[in-house]
Amino acid sequence: MKVLTDERKRHILHVLDRDGMVSVQSLCSDMATSSSTVRRDLADLEDEGLLERIHGGAKRRGGLRDEPTVRVKANQNTNAKSAIAQAAVAAVSAGDLIFLDAGTTTAHLVPLLHDVPDITVVTPGVDNASLLADHNIRSIMLGGQLKPTTKAVIGAEAAQQLQRFRFNIAFIGTNGIHPDYGVTTPDPEEAAIKRLAIDHSVDTFILADHSKFDQASFSQIVGLRAHTIITTDIETLGSPYNECRNIVDSLHSPTVRQQ
């Protein structure tokens, strides 16, 4: 039994080293074991200081600059991201000029935007630009330095282009929402693009599932005050939600449809 336990733990650490995050569900499938066994292994590894447990799984214990890849994030919390997108699209009107951030949460908005007439979408996200084209939505992709992890365009050239635009609405993704540190992301250059889009937009919506709460990364995008956050499962958040809801302008939680 001890050997099996060690093998499971080695596998968990291998996946974390490769992907940065892992879900209980995927580990159960990988190792053909029960969720209670996986959670026990995760608790042991957390006690040893080798990982940090989060809602539904674990993440690599590391610095404030750590960031999962798009490939990893695309398969995480997909029901929550869909619910967030359904709530967010209700804020869009015909003819709007929209900033759509790079990321897997904002990507869920694209198919829904297809039904809104006469909109123009500006995005720094390569994957989102491709999705917008697939759905025949008028779009502009910023140019500049491409960041491999998030498939986002960053840097001075992208910022210079963004300076020329004004938006009715901006949809912003994030890595962390914290009552003390605000809305954060690991990369200062990516934070600068997000912050500029917010400054140039009439309305801003921060799109973040429940796993982003009580998390903080290296670079602040904005503080919480006067921004609307669309999230999910706030009833499971406890203290992080209670602290944040007293600060933000509006915190909205749509219902997640279970598959």
Cβ-based neighbours of 204, under 8 Å, separated by 6 or more: 169, 170, 172, 198, 222, 227, 228
**Which comes out higher in pLDDT, residue 233 or 204?**
204
**18-22, 161-165, 233-237: least confident range:** 233-237
Q: Kindly list the domain boundaries of the chain, sorted by start residue.
A: 2-62, 72-252
Which whole number is the average pLDDT over 4-27?
A: 84
Question: What is the per-residue pLDDT across 142-162, written as a single tens digit (0 to 9) for each?
Answer: 999 999 888 999 999 999 999
Going by pLDDT thresholds of 50, 70 and 90, the confidence category of residue 62 is: low
Asked whether residue 184 carries a pLDDT value surpassing 50, the answer given is yes
Q: Which of 20, 124, 105 is nearest to 69 (CA)?
A: 20
Q: Which helix (H) or strand (E) holds 190?
A: helix 188-199
Going by pLDDT thresholds of 50, 70 and 90, the confidence category of residue 33 is: very high
Q: What CATH architecture applies to the domain 2-62? A: Orthogonal Bundle (1.10)
Asked whether residue 19 carries a pLDDT value surpassing 80, the answer given is no
Going by pLDDT thresholds of 50, 70 and 90, the confidence category of residue 57 is: confident
Going by pLDDT thresholds of 50, 70 and 90, the confidence category of residue 63 is: low
Which whole number is the average pLDDT over 179-190?
A: 90
Q: Which of 232, 178, 225, 231 is nearest to 198 (CA)?
A: 225
Res 259: pLDDT: 44
Question: What is the per-residue pLDDT across 95-137, written as a single tens digit (0 to 9) for each?
Answer: 999 999 999 999 999 999 999 999 999 999 999 999 999 999 9
Q: What CATH architecture applies to the domain 72-252? A: 3-Layer(aba) Sandwich (3.40)
| Percent of the chain whose predicted confidence (pLDDT) is above 90 | 53
Which whole number is the average pLDDT over 183-207?
A: 95
Question: What is the per-residue pLDDT across 64-92, written as a single tens digit (0 to 9) for each?
Answer: 556 666 666 666 778 889 999 999 999 99
Res 166: pLDDT: 98
CB of 70 within 8 A of CB of 55? no
CB of 116 within 8 A of CB of 89? yes
Which whole number is the average pLDDT over 17-22?
A: 76
CB of 105 within 8 A of CB of 81? yes
Going by pLDDT thresholds of 50, 70 and 90, the confidence category of residue 3 is: very low
